[in-house]
Every structure is written in C-alpha cells, then in structure tokens.
Amino acid sequence: MLRRKLDKMFAAALRDKDIQAWVCANVQTAIAALDFLKKKRIAVPGSISVIGFDDSVESLQHNLTSFNFNMRACAHCALNFILRKQYSRNPVDRGEMIIERASSR
C-alpha cells in the first residue's frame, strides 16, 4: 500500500520536467525512488539525482548520496541548550554534511 502511494508521488514528480533532484525524507524513501526510477529506465544521476537523509549502511549499499547528521554534536548542542540555558538565535555548526555517492551529480 505504501509503495503504491510512493510510486504515485514519484510519477507526479517525474512529470515536472523542471525538477532535477529528489531529496527524500529518509533513506528508505530514497531507495524506493531509486527502484521506481530503475523500473522506468530513468538514469540516476543522468536524468535526475536522488538524495536521502540519515546516512546509513543502506545508503552505502545503494550508493546513495545522503545527508549525514553528526548526532554526537547535535546531542551536545541540545544538552548545552537545556543545561546552560543558552538561548542564542545564531545558527550552530554541528558538522552536518552531504555524503556524495553515485545517485547525484
């Protein structure tokens, strides 16, 4: 059921020729996107790039570009905020990064 809903969304996104990349909410959705595009014989990243969130072993296994969260730094910032009551509105660099693999250009 979920896969059919995803495929419907992917098909709709594919109809918009201005879209050059799909940034998916998580690695599982990105892998479903890769499978959908493979079935449709659409080149990744030649025709469209696919990017996932929460870099994981699955990302590596599928050669998927993904956003990597530095969870240790995020936890540190959260604890500092709670314990030291730092209410700064300035952005904090926590070391997030894009891990580029074969699914993006």
CA–CA gap between residue 97 and residue 93 (Å, rounded): 10
- Structure confidence by residue, pLDDT tens digits, 4-16: 999 999 999 999 9
Q: Is the pLDDT of residue 80 over 90?
A: no
| Domains, in order of start, for the chain | 2-99 (3.40.50.2300)
Q: Is the pLDDT of residue 96 over 60?
A: yes
Predicted pLDDT of residue 88: 52
CA–CA gap between residue 94 and residue 105 (Å, rounded): 25
- Structure confidence by residue, pLDDT tens digits, 16-73: 999 999 999 889 999 999 999 999 999 999 999 999 987 788 998 999 999 887 777 7
Helix (H) / strand (E) element for 51: namely strand 49-53
How far is Cα of residue 4 from the mean position of the Cα atoms in its chain? 20
**pLDDT grade for 95, boundaries at 50, 70 and 90:** low
Predicted pLDDT of residue 76: 75
Residue 99 β-bridge partners: 66
Predicted pLDDT of residue 85: 62
pTM: 0.75
